Structure 1
Amino acid sequence: MVMEETSKTTSPNSVVSEFEGTLLKSNDPFSYFMLLAFDASGVIRFTILLFLWPVTTLLNVFSYKDASLKLMIFISTAGLRESDSELVARDVLPKFYMDDLSMDTWKVLSSCKKRIVVTRKPRVMVERFAKQHLNAEEVIGTELIVNRFGLSPKPHLGLGRRPALSDSTTFLSLCEEQIHEPVQWNNQVEVQPPKPVIFHDGGLMKRPTPATALTILLWLPFGIILAMIRILGAFIVPMWLMPYVISLSFCRVTVKGKPPPKAANSGGVLFVCSHRTMIDPLVISYTLGRSIPAVLISDLSRFYDILSPVPIVRFIRNRDVDGAKMKQELDKGDLVVCPEGSICYQPFVLRFSAMFAELTDRIVPVAINCRFGFFQRPLRSWNGLYLIFLFMNPTLDYEITFLDQLPFEATCSSGKTPYDVANHVQRILADTLGFECTNLGRKAKYNVLT
């Protein structure tokens, strides 16, 4: 791509930018409508839209772009409640938009005080991301009248694709200066990164381009069979055989560090883990070759209790009751806990609950990461489906890193507060994984995603 360089040394006051193909590197909205169809409606609508992809492509080829867009909007939204579309726009799409964001365009956008985003997609699909993560003041979508610019001063700068590639000529003509490609902005303003996407939900891990979407549909029947085999295997096979079963079912577990041996005396070790999937504690048990109880929150489906080959200790979110329960289990032996309290799919470690630090000094941090191909739990579905969708992935690649037990001077017994200990463990786990620490926790996640 040819880069144009502007001679400006000061930032313009306002900018209006095209979303597709300018702020986003991709100019094809198809995959985002596929995400909306999958998470707001399900596989049937997802399949119908995929089968109509040749039609929408031909319409674009023969310059019927508006007809192509209207067809995608109709198929992906007809019959949906507006709240369903808003839910997907809030919980699912931001992660994929951020992955596709053009940092060159962001540098220009971020240098301007008033930011306006224009999109071909319905405004509801873009507004949350643009305002929350790009600090846009306004988002204009296909359902709004573009000539509303006439009601306010002209934007100083317009960013869009070249006229031959874009439908953005109308709004660009209303700007004082027009730039048709991402630019290298030659000014003295320090560029801040866009607000990161920390929380992400939704059923698909990859943006469903036509090829990816077809692969997912073809894999679905095999994935369901594979999930049933994996679940039954975890339920039936003895623990000592599990490493062999895992490798035969296209799963890989890489272990780093030296796990502590089983304690010979009374009391156990508390394994404090980062939280990437619902089976993290189970993988710890498989790695150590012995059944270790795991702490889970109380609102998870009892489906996990039935299928889990390791004992489950349920929290009810009463600090005194939960603390006493954990202490009782630690007196019996080892215990696994994920103090984040919720899964984070992005490269962040959420804020830790400090209660674990009050109960024992025998704390072993365990850094867990997991890479899987297609699926996570579908948006707003029964949480018991999480296990099924996780095991439907063609491969599961776990990496478990056992760190050294915390030294005495890093525990509460040395005078450290529980919060100091929790923050220290969070930090060393994040450093091991190459992730970032965040002060946001479980409550913040559900405030964002609900």
Structure 2
Amino acid sequence: MLGQHHHRQSSSDISTFPEIILTSLQTPQDDEHLRNKTLILDVEGGLLRSPSIFPYFMLVAIEAGSFLRGLILLCLYPLLCCLPQEVELQIMVIVCFMGLSEEKVARVARATLPKYFLEDVGREGFEVLRGMKRVTGVCSLLPRIMVEPFLKEYMGLEVVVGREVKMIKGRYVGLLEKESEGKLEQAKFDETEMIGLGCSSSYFGYDHHQLFSWCKEVYLVTPEEKRKWSPLPRDQYPRPLIFHDGRLAFRPTPQATIAMFMWLPVALPLTLLRTLIFLNLPYPIAVAIGSVIGVTTRVINSPVHTGQVGSEPHAQPSSQGHLYVCNHRTLLDPVYISAMLNKQVSAVTYSVSRVTELISPIRTVRMFHGTSTGKSKYLDHFYFFMNPRPAYDVQFMDKMPTKMVIDGKRCESYEVANFVQGEIGRILGFQSTKLTRKEKYLRLAGNEGFADTKE
């Protein structure tokens, strides 16, 4: 095989140890020396700054599983700290993966984990990776299913090798497959000289020795040097992070996760109270009481004056009515627009679940089939009100025509829609892309966004 050609051997058929080089990765001489070579990258040791992989397993436990699964993992954390690394890993895999379908885990790996991985990338390690002719990512701890989408789509790696979790009929049984000495044989290398990059704290493990034995040189960063690494700035991401899906708005470290579970007993009754207030009370009263119980609402350029719809350009009496276009941050967008206008409006939407329709204080009008990136989309209201101090900003922009003429040519409907989206993005400080709704759902959920209307 091609891989065996690069396994350096002595005359006695015993593998030669690579040259070990301790480095800080902070000098330009290192960059020049490493150019145009094939790199075998220890992802946890040579790319990610944090030495802990617990937050990534917690994300899988909660986002692909449930809060109960996350609570079990959190309760086991003190025990995990006392166990050998391999046993700790096996237990986390059992808790997080057992019984989950491959589709659920793959969705979290594709739509949720990349954001947290990107925030954990060290700029120093990334600079080395960027100058390589070819990079093969090796994950000795994180299962391949968790890290492969991030490494291939956002880091540009061609080959990712990692631990595999056993499956039966499309569901994980929670057991890691045995380590294989021939992991890298699946990667087809050319004649380029190979080097390794990892962390000195994990290099002398059996698995690392087998992987790096393919290399002529291995560059190791000490844990002390890694603690000095700086995060990779967002404007230096190889590929911009456009789509992200997930309920947790923080990195679930053990301390942060404890705080979340301590807050949940208060959050559940509080979100029910806040929801009932918005459902049953007039909007002005609901907004006023909401501010007392922690819900902050701010309106900019309001079209309402003394409780009535005001003057031009926002709300002049018209037989054709008005269409308010929102950025659809959550399902509460049309509800808040209705509250700020102090009048009932109908929400024209692509996606509305039965539960959302039942609890919505405004009438909804369906367009096409029901759609969703996740089956719990109807819980948007509850997750928003579960925050300690949820805040909603509503800004009314200037009135825009539905028919536009540019350079004497009448614009098509999609051009008007794109212009409206561009103006909303400009106000929010975002840059518009050419990605379509279909592409969004394919990236986040792995489907085109059409769901059974009976759900």
Q: TM-score normalized by structure 2? A: 0.75
Partner of 2:366: 314
1:272 match? 325
Matched, 1:433 2:455: no
Per-residue Cα deviation, 1:225-283 (whole angstroms, up to 9, x for no partner): 11211111111111221320231231212223353553234332322221211111111
Q: Which runs of 5+ in 1 are unaligned?
A: 184-190, 319-340, 343-378
What is the distance in 2 between the residues matched to 1:408 and 1:238?
A: 32
Q: Which residue of 2 aligns with 1:289?
A: 342
Query: Aligned-pair distance for 1:30?
Result: 0.6
* Alignment correspondent of 2:180: 145
Q: Does 1:208 align with 2:252?
A: yes
Instruction: Give the structure 2 partner of residue 160 of structure 1.
Output: 198
Partner of 1:121, secondary structure, is strand
Instruction: For residue 27 of structure 1, give the secondary structure of its aligned residue in structure 2.
Output: coil
In the alignment, is the contact (CA less than 8 A) between 1:12 and 1:156 conserved in 2? no
Q: Does 1:39 align with 2:43?
A: no
Q: What is the Cα deviation at residue 304 of structure 1? A: 2.3
Q: Which ranges of structure 2 fall in alignment gaps of 5 or more residues?
A: 1-22, 165-178, 227-234, 304-312, 447-455
- The answer to whether the Cα contact below 8 Å between 2:203 and 2:209 also exists between their aligned partners in 1 is no
Of 357, 380, 387, the residue aligned with 1:386 is 380
Q: Label 1:80 to 1:268 Cα distance change in 2 as closer, same or farther (>3 A).
A: closer
**Any conservation in 2 of the 1:17–1:118 contact (CA below 8 Å)?**
yes
Work out which of the two has the higher radius of gyration on C-alpha atoms and give 1 or 2.
Answer: 2
SS in 1 for 2:39: strand
Between 1:195-204 and 1:407-416, the stretch displaced more is 407-416
- Residue 80 of structure 1: aligned partner: 100
Change over 3 Å in CA distance of 1:290–1:131 after alignment to 2: same
Local SS of the residue matching 1:126: helix
Distance 2:236 2:384 in 1: 36
Q: Which amino acid aligns with 1:404?
A: D
Aligned residue for 1:336? none
Amino acid across the alignment from 1:271: Y
How far apart are the structure 2 equivalents of 1:255 and 1:104? Answer: 43
Instruction: Give, in angstroms, the shift of residue 78 of structure 1.
Output: 2.7
Shift of 1:220: 1.7
| Mapped partners of 1:155, 1:68: distance in 2 | 35
TM superposition score normalised by structure 1: 0.75
Q: How many residues align?
A: 381
Aligned to 1:135: 156
1:126 positional shift: 0.8
Pairs within 5 Å for 1:183-332: 193-259=237-303, 260-297=313-350, 299-316=351-368
Percent identity (aligned) = 32
Q: Any idea what SS the aligned residue of 1:263 has? A: coil
Cα distance per residue 1:334-384 (max 9 Å; x no partner):
xxxxxxx98xxxxxxxxxxxxxxxxxxxxxxxxxxxxxxxxxxxx844433
In 2, the alpha carbon distance for the partners of 1:146 and 1:206 equals 37
Output the CA distance in 2 between the equivalents of 1:409 and 1:291.
26
Query: Structure 1 pair 408/285, CA: closer, same or farther in 2 (3 Å)?
Result: closer
Q: 2:73 aligns with which of 41, 46, 49?
A: 49
2:389 maps to 1:395: yes
1:161 and 1:29 map into 2 onto residues whose CA distance is 15
For 1:438 and 1:446, locate their aligned partners in 2 and report how far apart those are by CA, in whole Å.
Answer: 15
Q: In 2 relative to 1, CA 423–155 (structure 1 residues): closer, same or farther, beyond 3 Å? A: farther
1:419 & 1:57 partners in 2: Cα distance?
A: 56
For 2:258, the aligned partner's letter is L
Deviation at 1:34, TM superposition (A): 0.9
Greater shift, 32-41 or 107-116, is seen at 107-116
From the superposition, tell whether residues 425 and 437 of structure 1 become closer, same or farther in structure 2 (CA, over 3 Å): same
Q: What amino acid is aligned across from residue 366 of structure 2 in structure 1?
A: R
Counterpart of 1:256, as a letter, is: I
RMSD: 3.1
